Amino acid sequence: MYKKRFDGRKFDEMRPIEMEVGILEQADGSARFQIGKTIAIAGVYGPKEMHPRRLRKPDRAVLKCKYNMLSFSVTDRKRMGPGRRDKEIGLVMNFALGKSIMLDDFPKMGVEVHTEIIQADSGTRCASICAASLALAHAGVPMRDIVSSVAVGEVGGSVVIDLTKKEEDHPDGATDIPIAYLPKDDELTLLQLDGKIKPANLSKAIALGIEGCKRISDLQKKALRKKYSSS
């Protein structure tokens, strides 16, 4: 049984969070999101003319999300270039972010989201979604709400939020559940599960994750207000 977290946090306590909007001059919108030691940088380009033309949609814009974990971001050097996992997370980001963006305002156009993980200690897809959502808002892309995301799960039988890599590798087993959330609509836009968990603990984990996403959403909106008030 996992009774005390390795880093001393409470089971419902997230790691320290930092974020900044408008960090890339060449992007239409950009942001940095850090939770604990995990750092994601996102750049948004568009809405713009969609290429190749054969992929255009007559009634809406096409969202393309690209995720890349840099080779120096982890202790065990990652092979350079996008792998199968990177492509899978790019698709996950598309699903998580797609419902928040008013893509039907831009027929035949494209919106590109690029995220880079420059340092990783688990929760990279969630950090990427948070950074990308901030960057989309900074780019002025019409959105229904900011998407927030965090991982929850079970470690050694205990339900926790914001797992670290050490917790994911717990000898008694760990289950990772990344979620993304739209606070305004009270809607999950992402729910994945890697491992096994009892139904009661799954419900508890999702509820814990939603509360975490609400706290992250408040911080995201605060970061956007700070950017524009300083401008």
> Domain segments of the chain: what residues?
17-226
In the numeric block, the tokens 């977290």 are attached to 5
Average of per-residue pLDDT across 62-80: 80
Average of per-residue pLDDT across 54-74: 89
Instruction: Please give the CATH number for the structural domain made up of 17-226.
Output: 3.30.230.70
Q: What is the pLDDT of residues 85-97, one digit of tens each?
A: 899 999 999 999 9
CA-nearest of 67, 48, 65 to 56 is 48
Polymer length of the chain: 231
pLDDT-derived band of residue 53, with 50, 70 and 90 as boundaries?
confident
CA-nearest of 27, 111, 102 to 62 is 111
More confident position, 127 or 55: 127
More confident position, 157 or 83: 157
pLDDT-derived band of residue 71, with 50, 70 and 90 as boundaries?
confident
Predicted confidence at residue 198, as pLDDT, reads 92
Predicted confidence at residue 127, as pLDDT, reads 98
- 68-82, 116-130, 132-146, 175-189: the lowest-pLDDT one: 68-82
Predicted confidence at residue 115, as pLDDT, reads 98
CA-nearest of 190, 164, 220 to 91 is 190
More confident position, 55 or 67: 67
Burial environment of residue 160 by CB neighbours within 10 A (0 to 12, 13 to 18, 19 or more): buried
Quote the percentage of the chain above a pLDDT of 70: 95
For the chain, the average pLDDT equals: 93
Q: What is the pLDDT of residues 205-229, one digit of tens each?
A: 999 999 999 999 999 999 999 998 8
Instruction: Give the Cα separation of 78 and 51 in Å (integer).
Output: 30
pLDDT over threshold 80, residue 75: no
CA-nearest of 208, 195, 101, 201 to 144 is 101
Predicted confidence at residue 78, as pLDDT, reads 59
What residues are paired with 115 via a beta bridge? 42, 67
Residues 6+ apart with CB under 8 A from 107: 57, 58, 59, 60, 61
Q: What is the pLDDT of residues 96-114, one digit of tens each?
A: 999 999 999 999 999 999 9
pLDDT over threshold 70, residue 174: yes
More confident position, 231 or 223: 223
